[in-house]
Amino acid sequence: MKQRHFSMLRDFHLADWFTLANAFCGTGAVFSAMRFLQDGNVRYLLIGMALIPLAFVFDALDGRIARWRKVSSTLGRELDSLADVISFGVAPAALAYACGLQGGWDWIVLSYFVGCGVSRLARYNVTAETLADGGDKVTYFEGTPIPTSVAIVGLLAWLAWSDRIGAALPFGMLQLGPWQLHPLVLVFALSGSLMISKTIRIPKP
């Protein structure tokens, strides 16, 4: 049988389209951060930040729809993780950079945050069957889920709305050796560290 173009899309379930909408929102947030850096209009920054909670809604709906339709797949789980990396890992880091966390140490911390998110999702995918304890459902998360970064984006949105970004960021800036550090970026360090914790167990709804 001749393969048709875009035939891969024929294997997608309804929940997978909500997962793609999640990724679409995250990508839009990254572009919004870039646009803000280009012309300085804070409206673009706020739009990008608003897309992250919307991505969270799509992320919650895809799981509910999959359970409602009693359809789940390895493809769907991988899609979900890839979308989450964009929307709740890369996008928050890009928005933080746009807000002024642009020192050399800030780069390292933001990259650490994204790396923790990627590691947490990869670990979840490979251990899901074990965590399910022989059942069909994972009963708890090891480490905080990556969508918790929505809270950090909320903080950044409040700062942007209050015109406290750039040189006006809370806690100022420190010169540590050759690079600069904004203490505010440590919020990302804490969030990343909590994501990769094996001792924190959060019940999964």
Find all residues with CB under 8 Å of 142, minimum gap 6, and list them: 123, 124, 127, 131, 197, 198, 200, 201
pLDDT score at 156: 98
What does the pLDDT look like over 68-112, one tens digit per residue?
Answer: 556 666 677 788 899 999 999 999 999 999 999 999 999 999 999
Fold exhibited by the domain 12-203: Four Helix Bundle (Hemerythrin (Met), subunit A) (1.20.120)
Q: What is the pLDDT of residue 3?
A: 56
Q: What pLDDT shows up at residue 93?
A: 98
The two tokens of residue 96 are 């933080």
The reported pTM is 0.88
Q: Which two tokens stand for residue 40?
A: 């300085």
Mean pLDDT across 161-173: 97
pLDDT digits (tens, 9 = 90+) for 17-32: 889 999 999 999 999 9
CA distances from 58 to 18, 25, 54, 94, 185 (A): 5, 9, 6, 20, 27
